[in-house]
Structure 1
Amino acid sequence: MRVWRQLTDFVARHGAAALVTVHDVKGSAPRKAGAHMVVRPDGAFHGTIGGGQLEFRMLDIAREMLAAGRGPARIVDQALGPDLGQCCGGRVKILIETFDNRDLEDIAPLVEAEAAGGLFEVECRMEEGRVKRDLASAVGDDRWTGWRETHGEVRTPVLIFGAGHVGRALVLSLAPLPFSVRWLDDREDAFPSHIPPNAKAVRMRDPEAEIAEAGPTSLILVMTHDHPLDMAIVAAALRRGFPYVGLIGSATKRARFEKRFREIGIPEDTIRSLVCPIGLPGIEDKDPPIIAASVTAQLLQVRERVGQDVIPGGPPDREGDP
């Protein structure tokens, strides 16, 4: 979630908004420090701090603060077990802030930093009861006393070759998740009219060049309309050594491709790294949305394994508290 963009939109449309942040966690809790929820004056919200009674209570407090008008920030120190009956049993500090049009100028650099992509650090301090934030590079340690937050998000790049039924279902399945999708097909009018914001549809001219230019952490899925094209793309991808190269097809298709890969000199251990059939074992249904759901779960597993499971606005580097 782009927290600062969402907050700006709510303020622009509704005159005010609250930002609810998991500021600190001790023990077990539904979300890590840095999770956010942006709340409108009418109680509608975007994001989550974990759901359940904790979230309901913080929503009530945020609405009360918004009804009172823009004011000082508030820290709620909440035990989850005895106070709320949640089984997590940990303790959290929740930071709740209110914003209105007077804050849009201060928020603007954070919105811009979010739009640039990736993670960025913010240095925070209290001034007259409100949180003052500055981009870390704009301040410097000699001027800063407070705590740090990390905002933004890391999106894992995914290349999907093929805009058939499964390709379409997969792009939709990945739409709300932390992936950046490059969707490729060589056919004219292959793509639907609506493309999710995290995906870019590209008329493919040179598939091997696409593989050559992809970042080393990219995840590759091959599901074109043409088996020789599939083979050429997979061979190029295997040689690059991506964390995940997946090919749609059966065990029979895999065996045929493996035979050809050995003939062209691809090492045996590299061939074994190919994921085919794609998706989680045990899910046999071939309906495109079910294949897409299974493959999406598999990609999330790979993403976590290679160390890219970064939560937007992830855990702050605590050097102080408001």
Structure 2
Amino acid sequence: MREILPRVRDWLCDGTPFAMVTVIGVRGSAPRQPGAAMAVGADGQVAGSVSGGCVESAAYEAATEALATGEAALHTYGVSDDDAFAVGLTCGGTLTVLVRPFTEPAARAVLLNLVEAIGRSEPVAAVTVAGGSGPLGALRLVRPGRADGTLGAAGLDRAAADDARGLLAQGTAALHHYGRHGERRMDEVSVFIEAFTPPARMLIFGAIDYAAATARMGAFLGYRVTVCDARPAFATLQRFPTAHEVVRAWPHEYLAGTEVDERTVICVLTHDPKFDVPLLHAALRTHAGYIGVMGSRRTHDDRTARLRAEGVGDADLARLASPIGLDLGARTPEETAVSIAAEIVRSRWGGSGRPLTELTGDIHRP
């Protein structure tokens, strides 16, 4: 949903009616996951995608119908591999989407609060009735300390808010089922919960040309990018215009004092022992999900020996992606940034990194 927020905000502010189509369920091989969204304005303009192209026309028609009727609706696209093309979902999976018109002032006000909270990088969850006996499309916003809006029943509001706050820790989306008053282990009301946490961080150490290309790639992937280098002449905003911040500090000192969690990726591009060794000591004390280190095979072996000499064990050394990146034959800074990004994506989702032509089975895995 994040990619359509600028257009949605414009429509909310200038009074344009629109409808939103949100993926709330996926079965089998499907190109987009729950939370993917497309918005259709009353002027016919479109933002976003729910399927990568194969059911966009049908979703567009469903959105225009919702605008005409003012009613929310559920639609399912795709059945099986043999006849999926006739239905529209060529990859053979099944998508369930919720279509909601945003024409009423109250609903638009709640959605604007959501858009602005995401824009401020505040943790917030959108909780929506997505089926059953509840008011389809009803929207409630849940933050760590408060909630706004209602799903139609106080007990349901409380139960869904509890689950939404749990999902805020991961920034994920899920479909939950309750009794009409929030009872657990019942299936009278379906509620789609989409949690928006602040973007994951990409910390790049070493203000070199490869760092500039990696910063551009990190911002493209949705990370909040920080570039850090101790050299004032190199660590400048002019050299890294796509970074969210540029820090002039000794890398290990900065890392020891900044926030790092399991979603954080660290790219060490300095390949200089006086920076690398103390920085990697600090990095291995964090819960960062990915630590990649640039350097030749010789540099890698020398760096590993220095770390071992300072007491770093095999388990910690195994956390390092060194040399950084996948083997793509990259030469330029931009190509190298692509190889780094590919390794980060593989690390996040558990892909093999092999060509799809060498593999069988579903392309879009759960």
TM class by smaller structure: 0.7 to 0.9
Instruction: Show the counterpart of 1:76.
Output: 75
Query: Could you list the per-position Cα deviations for residues 199-229 of structure 1 after superposition, in whole angstroms to 9, with x for gaps in the alignment?
Result: 4323232422322234242322111385422
State whether structure 2 residue 130 is matched by structure 1 residue 92. no
State whether structure 2 residue 268 is matched by structure 1 residue 222. yes
State whether structure 2 residue 172 is matched by structure 1 residue 134. no
Deviation for aligned residue 1:250: 0.3
Deviation for aligned residue 1:187: 2.8
Deviation for aligned residue 1:97: 1.9
Corresponding residue SS for 2:244: strand
Q: Distance in 1 between matches of 2:139 and 2:41?
A: 21
Instruction: Show the counterpart of 1:174.
Output: 218
Query: Could you list the per-position Cα deviations for residues 231-257 of structure 1 after superposition, in whole angstroms to 9, with x for gaps in the alignment?
Result: 321233235464432221101111221
Letter in 1 for 2:36: A
Letter in 1 for 2:190: W
State whether structure 2 residue 246 is matched by structure 1 residue 202. yes
Deviation for aligned residue 1:305: 4.6
Runs (5+) with no aligned partner, structure 1:
307-314, 316-322
Q: Distance in 1 between matches of 2:211 and 2:281?
A: 20
Task: Provide the aligned C-alpha RMSD in A.
Answer: 3.3
Aligned length: 302
Call closer, same or farther: CA 1:247–1:32 in 2, change over 3 Å.
closer
Deviation for aligned residue 1:129: 7.4
Q: Distance in 2 between matches of 1:222 and 1:53?
A: 40
State whether structure 2 residue 247 is matched by structure 1 residue 247. no
Deviation for aligned residue 1:85: 4.9
Instruction: Show the counterpart of 2:279.
Output: 233
Corresponding residue SS for 1:131: coil
Instruction: Show the counterpart of 2:201.
Output: 157
Contact 2:27–2:94 (CA under 8 A) maintained in structure 1: yes
Call closer, same or farther: CA 1:36–1:237 in 2, change over 3 Å.
same
The higher relative CO (CA closer than 8 Å, separation ≥ 6) is in 1
Instruction: Show the counterpart of 2:40.
Output: 39
Instruction: Show the counterpart of 2:25.
Output: 24
Q: Which moved more, 1:117-126 or 1:90-99?
A: 117-126
Identical counterparts, % of pairs = 28
Instruction: Show the counterpart of 1:309.
Output: none
Runs (5+) with no aligned partner, structure 2:
148-156, 160-179, 183-187, 352-365
Instruction: Show the counterpart of 2:340.
Output: 295
Give the TM-score taking structure 2 as reference length.
0.70
Query: Could you list the per-position Cα deviations for residues 121-176 of structure 1 after superposition, in whole angstroms to 9, with x for gaps in the alignment?
Result: 51427899762211356332485673322224453322111221111101111223
Call closer, same or farther: CA 1:274–1:33 in 2, change over 3 Å.
closer
Letter in 2 for 1:252: R
Contact 1:220–1:245 (CA under 8 A) maintained in structure 2: yes
Contact 2:66–2:72 (CA under 8 A) maintained in structure 1: no
Instruction: Show the counterpart of 1:319.
Output: none
State whether structure 2 residue 106 is matched by structure 1 residue 106. no
Letter in 1 for 2:191: R
Letter in 2 for 1:97: R
Letter in 2 for 1:71: G
Q: Distance in 2 between matches of 1:290 and 1:177?
A: 15
Contact 1:239–1:266 (CA under 8 A) maintained in structure 2: no
Contact 1:72–1:128 (CA under 8 A) maintained in structure 2: no
Query: Could you list the per-position Cα deviations for residues 96-124 of structure 1 after superposition, in whole angstroms to 9, with x for gaps in the alignment?
Result: 22224724323233234434444625142
Q: Distance in 2 between matches of 1:29 and 1:275?
A: 30
Q: Distance in 1 between matches of 2:285 and 2:111?
A: 45
Deviation for aligned residue 1:289: 0.5
Q: Which moved more, 1:154-163 or 1:248-257?
A: 154-163
Q: Distance in 2 between matches of 1:112 and 1:84?
A: 37
What are the residue-to-residue correspondences of 1:112-127 with 2, within 5 Å?
Answer: 112-114=116-118, 115-118=120-123, 120-124=125-129
Contact 2:283–2:291 (CA under 8 A) maintained in structure 1: yes
Corresponding residue SS for 2:60: helix
Q: Distance in 1 between matches of 2:134 and 2:346?
A: 45
